[in-house]
Structure 1
Amino acid sequence: MRIIEVARTSAAVAETSGRKAKVAALAACLGRAGAREAPIVVAYLSGELPQRQIGVGYAALRDVPPPADVPALTVAEVDAAFTEIGAVSGKGSVARRRELVAGLLARATRAEQDFLIRLLAGELRQGALDGLMVEAIAAAAGVPAADVRRAFMLRGSLGPVATAALADGADGLRAFTLEVGRPVKPMLAAAAPSIDEAFGKLDGEAAVEWKLDGVRAQVHVSGGDVRVFTRTLDEITERLPEVVAAVRELPVRDAVLDGELIALRPDGRPHPFQVTGARTATRTAKDADPVPLTLYLFDVLHLDGADLLDAPGADRNAALARIVPDHLRMPRLVTADPAAAKAMFDEAVARGHEGVVVKSLDTPYTAGRRGAGWIKVKPRHTLDLVVLAVEWGHGRRSGLLSNLHLGARDAESGGFVMLGKTFKGLTDELLAWQTRTLRELAVREDDWTVHVRPELVVEIAFDGVQHSTRYPGGIALRFARVLRYRPDKSAAEADTIDTVRAVAPVMD
């Protein structure tokens, strides 16, 4: 398959706002690609590289050679070139990577150059997010979208799922099963502004669990082997010897457990999130006195040979209670009384935690999706937004990137809707960190503003939402302030513009 076909599909998807039209264009391209090249095409149309990072920054894309006259580059040739570029290391590697990039671009037409440059720069925002790509794979292969979605949940990557679907249809998708040792995409929670509203979305009794300001942990147990993964499916086992030791005490042979890691003070109150984040980000636990992490488990996906993904939440919790002692389980209350749930909420907040998660007792474990089965309630309005650009500071902040441009995801178009700017809540440490980090994500800049790849997620507190003619979404956040950065979240997991409107009513 030629890369021009992918480039044209990308442009067509970007130019249409209709979900069905986007899916149709993506499906047609995948159908032409076939099973062998499907993983590469899926990645490119999702704005990603199969190799993930190949060491090409914005500087390497500034000097573009004259374009070719006729499109001849194939998908396989581009993929091989990216692999070669990513393998370059050692002295002179920067110059060599630029040479290889220039050589690739010299073989591309103007349209292909534009596509490849935006792909490498992380600016391919045509809207082919996971949800649309799942539907496109289903349409191209003639299989139910639910089957593709489940396979994606279990495999954690759409490329292999596309290959299986296009090659073997539904039978190929059924081959994806939960494997102990291979992390699955975690189930996510929707948001509600109050306990009453959360209970209003569920029917009858529900479980109310503390919501911690920690790091999500998926724990896989196989015999005496314990492995720990983050919500981004990265393994952090070697950093957590105390967690591994605690899990080895459980009376299980094989299990997949879901929970949260958090650093607690001696009085039981949580350390700031930065302490937990720094502890899980440490490559080894060789510090003289590392801050210990406490593991709270709240779900089980597999237990001693039995998959529990499709079991009701109440049954999964009963299985968890059989093998996990109280001190390792998330505090939980099952009730139909919103007042009792509010008391649980107040206790969690009083102990320094974020709030609670209200969970249906009937819902299966729908990994990788924000469904109505789990609903988080916090005492303040917070959103996970994406940094779109940042302005240079002045006065005491001269020389530092300060004022953040904040965007919510547009689930329909796949782009981002700007909701305002803020420089509030930034400590000196955060200012220094974001200046370094955002410069690395820069795609273009002028004397005042640095525009960045939309990859960095930041948690924002705000007092409300108001109408605005200044921003394209017609709304803006009131008194937005930075709480923390969320390197554990991808931009695809940021809150949507619809969530913004649902969490906080728009005020005049």
Structure 2
Amino acid sequence: MQHFANLLDALSFQPARNAKLRLIETYLRTTPDPDRGYALAALTGSLNLPNAKPAILRKLGTDQLDETLFALSYDYVGDLAETLALIWQPTNRRNQPSPSLREVIEKLETATSAEVPLLLTDWLDLLDATGRWALLKLITGSLRVGVSARLAKTAVANFGAVALEDVEEIWHGLQPPYRELFSWLSGFGEKPDRLNLSFRPLMLAHPLDEEELAQLKPEEFRAEWKWDGIRVQAVAFAGERRLYSRAGEDISRAFPDIIEAMTYEGVLDGELLVARPAENSDVQIAPFNELQQRLNRKTITSRMLADWRAHVRLYDILIDGEVDLRPLPFDMRRQHLEDWYRRERRPRFDLSPVLPFASWEELAALRAGARAASIEGLMLKRADSPYLGGRIKGRWFKWKRDPLTVDAVLMYAQRGHGKRSSFYSDFTFGCWQGSEGEADRQLVPVGKAYSGYTDEELLQLDRWVRNHTINRFGPVREVSPGLVVELAFDAVQRSSRHKSGVALRFPRIRRLRWDKPAQEADSLDTLVQLISTSKAS
């Protein structure tokens, strides 16, 4: 465990990507099985420790300190694992060896909720402050050391001197601690055969700006709408079916209606959406807010299936039966997809249309009208591009519509996580309900944002929150209504889940309006009008 703790500590203080890769590769070379496999699972978010809940850690903390003092310490530090690691007072049992990573994970996987606190108490007594911090980070599943799952897999590929795509091809057919994987990468075994139901790395797009667009030739590209859902991969072979998110997470259980319709053999790439009943045969796509009602649900009820009908709009076909189509250029794959759809037409699937255009000006006019519900903008794909996993420069581009903006007032703030744990960096903003001058005019929350500002602006925001706090609710601070920001967002939709009655899609801070009085911020009516404008266009 201490070896893994040293790795996490080094990663958290190392900003450079290549240096992080070297740290992970060195760990994999110097750590035996199964510890290195469990470490890899932790770095890629593949561990499942169901009974190790954050509530248990809070209880351990209040056992060490009284509840008020622990709450103040947690508020000051801003991170639960770090707080508990710092305040822990071990007993006099330091002559015992600290636990291995294998011992920690395998015991927690089988422990009951009643047994977990006793195990943690013993281990926390045997570890130093860094070890305690790493143990608690492992349990909460929030390592926050600047390592993405893809970066960890890249280190694994470098360790075995194989292509990253070869690792990703078999990844979702493997289970921690990945003994087969390391046996193959170390040259002692064959490559694991897990291809059929595995997730294939998705081909991703680069953002496109006007200057870059001018360098491209229209005749070399094909255009499609960029639908406002979540990217999925639908895999079906020999009667078995899997639906994967863009990150390779198996989301099959949450979408049984899609799984039921996957009566084919192959791999399809598309956008998961919610479809509304339409009078004609066309499918009417609902706003993203309705898709959110189906996401991250442990239990799917019959009412959910009826009210929010899942639908996949297809972009591409990777494998048809036993034929791998990925090496083919986009135009040929598109023809295969259209042939497949005519042959295999089914109610939960349809095709994303290819949009005809002769010039960038003509396409820009189409993009200008893309504010319609469930359309984020355009996708541009080179006609001769094979299907390559990852974000390959110059092949696919996303040309999103210009964002909407609103001036909103800062209402609440909360500390962030990881490197931001000492700063108020997560903000809730509101707009005015009621007309200016009315006695009952009040701010109502319309959205949360934690991105879009510079490091210098973060310091300014943090200082402003601390100097203008008027109330506290646990880790949340309420501030006086004095700071206006311009929020950018992709769409606004009606929502019964929010007090304001609206929900913003991807809100982020565009600029700080130190010059603007809070009373001049926008009203809720402004957002409601934007809903009507979006539908009309």
For Structure 1 versus Structure 2, the TM-score category normalised by the shorter chain is 0.5 to 0.7
Q: Output the amino acid matched with 1:27.
A: E
Q: 1:217 to 1:165 in 2, by over 3 A?
A: closer
Counterpart in the other structure of 1:272: 287
Counterpart in the other structure of 2:315: 298
Name which of 198, 204, 225 aligns with 1:188: 204
Name which of 86, 90, 97 aligns with 1:66: 90
Are the aligned partners of 1:205 and 1:336 in contact in 2 as well (CA < 8 Å)?
Answer: no
Name which of 457, 480, 486 aligns with 1:479: 486
Are the aligned partners of 2:403 and 2:488 in contact in 1 as well (CA < 8 Å)?
Answer: no
User: Are 1:316 and 2:333 matched, yes or no?
Assistant: yes
Counterpart in the other structure of 1:218: 233
Q: Give the distance between the partners of 1:473 and 1:323, measured in 2 at CA.
A: 56
Name which of 126, 138, 141 aligns with 1:107: 126
Q: 1:131 to 1:203 in 2, by over 3 A?
A: farther
Q: Give the distance between the partners of 1:415 and 1:481, measured in 2 at CA.
A: 25
Counterpart in the other structure of 1:148: 164
Counterpart in the other structure of 2:105: 79
Alpha-carbon distance, 1:155 to partner = 1.8
- Which ranges in structure 2 are unaligned for 5 or more consecutive residues? 65-87, 434-443, 462-483, 493-507, 516-537
- Which ranges in structure 1 are unaligned for 5 or more consecutive residues? 384-391, 394-401, 435-457, 486-499
Alpha-carbon distance, 1:210 to partner = 1.0
Alpha-carbon distance, 1:468 to partner = 6.6
1:148-187 correspondence runs (5 A): 148-156=164-172, 163-164=179-180, 166-169=182-185, 175=191, 179-187=195-203
Name which of 257, 263, 269 aligns with 1:258: 269
Q: Cα deviation per residue 1:250-300 (whole Å; 9 max; x = unaligned)?
A: xx5x11111123224437654332212214556345229433333311111
Alpha-carbon distance, 1:340 to partner = 3.4
Alpha-carbon distance, 1:43 to partner = 2.9
Q: 1:139 to 1:273 in 2, by over 3 A?
A: closer
User: Are 1:379 and 2:401 matched, yes or no?
Assistant: yes
Q: 1:354 to 1:84 in 2, by over 3 A?
A: same
Counterpart in the other structure of 2:243: 228
Are the aligned partners of 2:205 and 2:395 in contact in 1 as well (CA < 8 Å)?
Answer: yes
Name which of 418, 429, 446 aligns with 1:423: 429
Q: Cα deviation per residue 1:370-427 (whole Å; 9 max; x = unaligned)?
A: 75533222223499xxxxxxxx96xxxxxxxx446789x9xxx999999774424899
Q: Give the distance between the partners of 1:221 and 1:423, measured in 2 at CA.
A: 44
Q: Give the distance between the partners of 2:189 and 2:287, measured in 1 at CA.
A: 42
Q: Output the amino acid matched with 1:276.
A: L
Counterpart in the other structure of 1:39: 37
Q: Give the distance between the partners of 2:189 and 2:203, measured in 1 at CA.
A: 20
**Structure having the higher Rg:** 2
SS in 2 for 1:380: coil
Alpha-carbon distance, 1:40 to partner = 0.6
Q: Cα deviation per residue 1:211-247 (whole Å; 9 max; x = unaligned)?
A: 1112333222335655434335223367443x45655
Are the aligned partners of 2:184 and 2:191 in contact in 1 as well (CA < 8 Å)?
Answer: no
Q: Give the distance between the partners of 2:449 and 2:422, measured in 1 at CA.
A: 16
SS in 1 for 2:127: coil
How many aligned residue pairs are there?
422
Counterpart in the other structure of 1:443: none
TM-score (norm 1): 0.67
Percent identity over the alignment is 20
Counterpart in the other structure of 2:439: none
Alpha-carbon distance, 1:167 to partner = 2.1
Q: Give the distance between the partners of 1:364 and 1:414, measured in 2 at CA.
A: 40
Where relative contact order (Cα < 8 A, 6+ residues apart) is larger, the structure is: 1
Q: Output the amino acid matched with 1:180.
A: N
Q: Give the distance between the partners of 1:349 and 1:302, measured in 2 at CA.
A: 33
Counterpart in the other structure of 2:5: 7
Q: Give the distance between the partners of 1:164 and 1:7, measured in 2 at CA.
A: 25
Q: Give the distance between the partners of 1:192 and 1:419, measured in 2 at CA.
A: 28
SS in 2 for 1:111: helix
Counterpart in the other structure of 1:98: 117
TM-score (norm 2): 0.64
Q: 1:334 to 1:42 in 2, by over 3 A?
A: farther
Q: 1:432 to 1:137 in 2, by over 3 A?
A: same
Q: Output the amino acid matched with 1:222.
A: F
Counterpart in the other structure of 2:220: 205
Query: RMSD of the TM alignment (CA)?
Result: 4.7
Q: Output the amino acid matched with 1:14.
A: S
Alpha-carbon distance, 1:313 to partner = 2.5
Counterpart in the other structure of 1:50: 47
Q: Give the distance between the partners of 1:117 and 1:281, measured in 2 at CA.
A: 24
Counterpart in the other structure of 2:302: 286
User: Are 1:125 and 2:144 matched, yes or no?
Assistant: yes
Q: Give the distance between the partners of 1:191 and 1:158, measured in 2 at CA.
A: 33
Q: Output the amino acid matched with 2:268.
A: L
